[in-house]
Amino acid sequence: MCGIAGMVALGGDASLPSEEALEAMTSALVHRGPDQGGILVRPRGGLGARRLIVLDPGGGRQPLSDPGGRVHLVFNGEVYGFRELRQELEGLGHRFLSRCDSEVVLHAYLEWKDGFLDRLDGMFALALLDEREPGPRLFLARDRIGIKPLYHAVCGDWLLFGSEPGAILAARPELGLVVDPIALDQYLCLEYVPSPRTIFSRVRKLSPGHRLVIPLGGGASSRVPEPECYYRPPREPVLEGATRELGARLLEILADAVKRRLVSDVPLGVLLSGGIDSSTIAALACRAQGGVRTFSLRFSRGSYDETRFAVEVARHLGTDHTVIEMEEPGPEAIDDLLGPLLDPVADTSIFPTAALCRGAREHVTVALAGDGGDELFAGYDPYRADRIARWLSLVPQKMVQTMARLTARAVPPGPAKKGARNLLGRFLEGLLVDPALGHLRWMVHLYGEDRAAAFLPELRHFLAGRDPVDPLVLAGARARRGDPLDRALTIDLATWLPDDILTKVDRASMAASLEVRVPFLDHRLVELVSRYPSAAKLGPFARKKILRAAARELLPGRILSRRKQGFSSPLKHWLRGGLRPLLEELTADEGFFSGLGLSQRAWVRFRDEHDRGVRNHAHRLWPLLLLHRLLRRTAGSGPIRLDLEAGPPSGLA
């Protein structure tokens, strides 16, 4: 696992890349790879890498060059089954100097050219600087599902890229002063920015399953080609069959995915919440090898704590289990995450995820996790809420919304994590949002009237006719017609999963120098489960039906039947406690609000209503609080401004 960075000259007159710039870029990623670092400077560009040693401690240094010294690679991630791929390449005449998967990736490119991506099974982001004539070029690519990140930006005659925006801003800090207003709207609505935008106007994310190939020969143009999609989960006919048969096939592929992710030359464990996803992964890891270590997190607030379930699973499986204590974060906890989080993700579970990763890193270097199970098997509350709302479609919508509005006022938020009162309140809020959004109405946080009130007139005017959920609606166009659940899952797999969940896990784990592997997102499993009928995932009374059936032989019935809790934090309480001074600092920063086109008065109202317990505004206040800390870090006391000429999301030059 690594952090990668680099820069290439787009125009023919550009000078050699600066060693100082490359050193600054890689230094910004040292948390991703604390064990080794290196840079390579070539006439047309330069590459840098930081390495977390997982395989072959004595080899695998990066940047890595081919035997002819004309093709150079930096690689972040893991390729599963790379030993079999290496044997195939050796049969074709290739010779290897290390036992690392990165060298296999380089030789796969030399053998199969652009088609080599189809041969890689894993999580990765990579950059290849190919200096061979007649077509020198930079080749950037990201894995199929979007587990590992890759960012890029054009600045003058240079294209810069890195595993995190911080690498790019280390070389060109001025890029951190200008905010994309469309991305800002999406972020405050969704708590994340869908690819390919980022919060910074000139910085872009490479989307999952995409590659970007940039010619480097001659010319003075700084135009950059559009990224190309090389992979989308295929939309094949629905598989019919008995639950037992479907579950057996599911378990077969998942077991193999777990086994392939257990390959490591350093200590390895499993992050265990006690829910069905992580528990199934832990059970399959124990089947594949003995002596598994597991880790869970304990909250002080009872309704948020799932430790007893994780301990029960650990005892059932016989793992060496460690419980990590979660403390209420203060301002310093946010500042510790700022570097990795320069592409802000305001998921409320970032704190517990970071705490769990830090605690696990004291014992292991690699950990398996259950992320992806909810998006594959319909585990989230919004999927059920959407089904209930469709039952209400028989009632006139005006009547439903009037009743919802009156009832919502009488149901203030409760102190528990979920509970009937909080679930009802969130459901009622969702009913007041445009019903045409389907399950997205429960995925938005700043929308409708409150969204309009939160923006100043200039920003409202710029955003007129734009909807922050447009990228999600577009993603849903590939779903099966007439299947609302398939549409919801298709949207979440393409947007919420890579841009929120996986980004959060990547940042939290890499901040602790821990590699996290996610077996549920093996592309073979994603493709298989996408063909399962919706009724096999979400039944009238059960979520994740097919997964529960498949895991019956692995886990206790009490774990299989327990209600989903979700790995979130008591942020609504923390915003009235240890984080409250930061809210005061935020709401007093007039220049921040005016610079971003936000109404200071509206956000003060959100804060006051949250303080009084009238409404739970945690999912609005926390994203803005995090953004405030991030932008003040990148801009210092200087002006932050909106780019009100922001172009389409893929436009770079």
CATH code at position 126: 3.60.20.10
pLDDT at 589: 93
Across the chain, what does the average pLDDT equal?
Answer: 88
Say what angle helices 419-431 and 397-409 make with each other, to 10 degrees.
140
Residues 203, 179: Cα–Cα separation, whole Å: 10
pLDDT at residue 203 in the model: 96
Q: How confident is the model at residue 650, as a pLDDT? A: 46
532: CATH: 3.40.50.620
Q: Could you tell me the sign of the dihedral formed by the alpha carbons of 494, 379, 345, 335, in that order?
A: negative
Residues 337 and 372 in one domain: yes
C-alpha angle with apex 207: 166 to 82, nearest 5 degrees? 90
Clarify whether residues 449 and 597 are in a common domain: yes
Residue 220's pLDDT band (cuts 50, 70, 90):
very low
- Is 237 contained in some domain? no
CA distance 109 to 105: 6
Q: How far apart are CA 202 and CA 179, in angstroms?
A: 8
Residue 458 CA to residue 302 CA, distance in Å, equals 45
Percentage, residues of the chain above pLDDT 90: 64
Is the residue at 526 inside a domain? yes
Same domain as 148, residue 267: no
Evaluate the CA torsion angle 187, 190, 191, 192 in order and state its sign: negative
Tell me whether residue 388 is in a domain.
no
Q: Is 190 within the bounds of a domain?
A: no
Q: Indicate whether 55 belongs to any domain.
A: yes
d(CA 334, CA 354): 11
Cα-based distances in Å from 590 to 70, 334, 595, 628: 53, 21, 8, 12
- Reported as a single tens digit per residue, the pLDDT across 548-566 is 999 999 998 888 887 665 5
Residue 652 clears pLDDT 80, i.e. is over it: no
pLDDT at 265 over 90: no
Question: What's the N-to-C CA distance of the chain in angstroms?
Answer: 31
**pLDDT per residue over 374-403, tens digit each?**
999 999 888 888 887 777 666 666 666 666
The token pair at 256 is 């193999």
> Looking at residue 482, what is its pLDDT?
85
Are 59 and 32 within one domain?
A: yes
Nearest to 29, CA basis, from 125, 123, 122, 120: 125
Mean pLDDT of 506-535: 95
Binned at pLDDT 50, 70 and 90, residue 651 comes out as very low
Q: What single DSSP character describes residue 401?
A: H
Number of domains in the chain: 3
Q: Which residues of 415-450 are buried (b: 16+ CB within 10 A; e: fewer)?
A: eebbeeebeebbbbbbbbbebebbbbbbbbbbbeee
Question: Any idea which residue has 């010619």 for tokens?
Answer: 215
Distance CA 134, CA 137 (A): 10
Same domain for 406 and 341, yes or no, is: no
Contact 310, 300 (CB under 8 A): no
Burial of 231 (0-12, 13-18, 19+ CB in 10 A): middle
**Nearest of 222, 566, 227 to residue 380 by alpha carbon:** 566
Which pair of structure tokens corresponds to residue 354? 């970071």
pLDDT at 411: 62
Q: Which of 532, 561, 590 is the last residue of a domain?
A: 561
H or E segment to which residue 621 belongs: helix 618-635
- Average pLDDT of 489-506? 96
Is pLDDT above 70 for 257? yes
Q: Which of 561, 584, 615 is the last residue of a domain?
A: 561
Query: Out of 81-95, 99-113, 328-342, which region has the weakest mean confidence (pLDDT)?
Result: 328-342
pLDDT at residue 510 in the model? 92
Same domain, 152 and 211: yes
**Banded model confidence at residue 653, pLDDT cuts 50, 70, 90:** very low
pLDDT for 540 equals 78
> Do 457 and 341 have their domain in common?
no
* Number of neighbours of residue 187 by Cβ within 10 angstroms: 27
Domain-embedded: residue 630: yes
The range of the structural domain enclosing residue 127 comes to: 2-178+204-229
pTM: 0.93
CA distance 361 to 295: 10
221 and 73 within one domain: yes
**In this structure, are 424 and 509 located in the same domain?**
no
Whether the pLDDT of residue 342 is over 90: the answer is no
Per-residue pLDDT at 340 exceeds 70: yes
* Apex 575 CA angle, 572 and 580, nearest 5: 165
Whether 91 maps to a domain, the answer reads yes
At 480 the pLDDT is 85
The verdict on residue 504 lying in a domain is: yes
| Angle at the Cα of 376 from the Cα atoms of 373 and 378, rounded to 5 degrees | 90
d(CA 162, CA 287): 38
Which distant-in-sequence residues (6+ apart) come within 8 Å of 365 by Cβ? 52, 53, 54, 264, 266, 267, 268, 513, 514, 515
The CA R_g of the chain, rounded to the nearest whole Å, is: 24
How many other CB atoms are found less than 10 A from the CB of residue 15?
9
Per-residue pLDDT band for 332 (boundaries 50, 70, 90) equals: confident
Do both 369 and 451 map to the same domain? Answer: no
- Which residue from 321, 198, 360, 313 is spatially nearest to 560, judged by alpha carbons? 313
Q: Residue 324 pairs with which residues in a beta bridge?
A: 297
pLDDT in tens, 571-621: 888 888 888 999 999 999 999 999 999 999 999 999 999 998 888 899 999
| Residue 320 and residue 446 share a domain | no
pLDDT at residue number 649: 55
211 and 124 housed in the same domain: yes
Among 561, 583, 617, residue at a domain's last position: 561
Measure the CA angle with vertex 320, ends 80 and 322; round to 5°. 100
In this prediction, residues 398-419 reach a mean pLDDT of 59
